Amino acid sequence: MSDTAARPRLLPALFGIAAGLALAMGVESALHLRERSGGLLSVALPWVGVVFYAALAVTSRVRPGSPWLSRGVALLAFAHAMLICESVLEGRLCPGCLAVAAAAAVAAAIRVRSVSEDRLPVAASILLGAVAGFLSPFDRTDDALTRRLWPSRVYNLAPAFVDRQEMAGCPDGRPVRMIVFEKDCRG
């Protein structure tokens, strides 16, 4: 079997593996099998990944010449470069995230090797994603979305020693209340 004959089957399989790994991460998060410290975007990202990678798997199987496949590969290159760079810089590596990124990277490499027009956009996406990772946009976006759309999650992210009754409301009725605590302090 030639290398080009293996590619059409390998690309959908790799995207399918990435979708399966993202599904496993989403189920793990939904069942609280491992505590995740993130907010709304961190909880939703595995499920978005399932849909995204499943769509890429179907597209690469049904229409391997589709321009949407090229765009999807460039988008995944950007997103994974940003998230992995940010994770490395912050010292919080997630084995599941690395596994999804590895499957996606192999699929992207196969696509770029077989479609030369995709090389420059994917290379630029990786470079721009890595630069964006230095700016930590994921954490800021995650925090902003969580505060706006899922404020109760903010209470869950506070350490266990912080009194939840004290966090619940401001006794004098003011709209803004600030509670400050140190991570290692018990007082």
The one-letter amino acid at 138 = F
Does pTM top 0.75 for this prediction? no
Q: Give the residue among 116, 112, 101, 77 at the shortest CA–CA distance from 14.
A: 101
Decide which of 71 and 148 is more confident: 71
* List of residues 6+ apart from 161 with CB closer than 8 A: 181, 186
DSSP-assigned states of every residue in 114-181 = H-GGGHHHHHHHHHHHHHHHHT-HHHHHHHHHHHHH-HHHHHHHS-TTS-HHHHH--TT--S------
Mean pLDDT of all residues in 166-178: 64
Angle, vertex CA 89, rays to CA 87 and CA 95, nearest 5 = 30
The topology under which CATH files domain 3-142 is de novo design (two linked rop proteins) (1.20.1440)
Mind listing the pLDDT tens digit for each residue in 31-60?
876 666 567 777 888 899 999 999 999 999
Q: Render pLDDT for 147-158 as a digit per residue (tens, 0 to 9).
A: 777 776 766 767
Which one-letter amino acid corresponds to residue 168? Answer: A
Q: 2 pLDDT exceeds 50? A: no
d(CA 165, CA 179): 12
pLDDT of 71? 92
The rounded percent of the chain whose pLDDT value lies above 90 is 28
Q: What is the mean pLDDT of residues 118-130?
A: 92
**Residue spans per domain, the chain:** 3-142
Q: How far apart are CA 146 and CA 40, in angstroms?
A: 5
Q: How confident is the model at residue 182 (pLDDT cuts 50, 70, 90)?
A: low
